[in-house]
Amino acid sequence: MIVEEILLVLSIAILIVSVYLLYNNLKMYRKALLLLKLRIGDEVLARTGKLRKRYIVFAVISQTRYSKKEINEAIRTTFKHLFGEAILAKADPYIVYYDPGVMRGVIRVSHIYKNHVLAVLSLTPKITGLDALILPIKTTGTIKKARKILYSHRRELQL
């Protein structure tokens, strides 16, 4: 009888300890979840860490010869029109190199917003009235490689 009582008390004690430990674990779990939520809320940046650059090699198909400034202005205007000023500031698409002779260039953009710029390229002639088609050729991670690609393609795209 005494043994049974002792066992009962012991089991109750174990139960109380396990409930206490579970409660502590739950608290930790909640904290971790909150931190994760904060990171997800704070844009993709929090997850992706370091900001890397992408270089999009593009070709302009047109009968009119546009300058680097005109193309850059058109792309930035369309980007602002489509995604707003806040995203434009984060993405910062900029033509780092443009050769009017072959009508090809390289756009530098943050790696998170690469797809945004590709989407913008399809709308640029429509929004800004640019008499041209902008065709992305390749996306690279270094400007050296981008320049190599720029001149490696044949000139068949020119009108």
Partner 1 sequence: MKAFIDLYIKRLDKPYILKHLGFTTVVVEEYEKRVDNVNGLRIVRGTLLSATRLGELKEKLRGIKEKYPIVLVDPLSVEVARFAAHDGRVDGIWLDGENIKIVDKAQINMMKQYSKPLIISLREYLSLPDQYKSMIYRRIKLAIDRGVTIIPVSSATSYKEYIVPSTIVYLLSFLFDTDYKYWIYTLASAPREILVRNGVAP
Q: What does the binding site for partner 1 look like in residue numbers (CB under 8 A)?
A: 61, 82, 115-116, 118-123, 125-126, 131-136, 156-157, 159
SS (H, E, C) 93-146: CEEEEEECCCCEEEEEEEHHHHHHHHHHHHHHHHHHCCCCEEEEEEEECCHHHH
Cβ proximity to partner 1, 99 vs 131, nearer residue = 131
> How far, in Å, CA of 116 to CA of 133, rounded?
17
Burial, 82: exposed, middle or buried (Cβ in 10 Å; 0-12, 13-18, 19+)? middle
CB 124, min distance to partner 1, A? 9
Cβ proximity to partner 1, 15 vs 61, nearer residue = 61
CB 14, min distance to partner 1, A? 51
> How far, in Å, CA of 91 to CA of 52, rounded?
11
CB 123, min distance to partner 1, A? 6
Cβ proximity to partner 1, 72 vs 134, nearer residue = 134
Cβ proximity to partner 1, 6 vs 61, nearer residue = 61
Q: Is the dihedral of CA 7, 11, 16, 18 positive or negative?
A: positive
CB 84, min distance to partner 1, A? 12
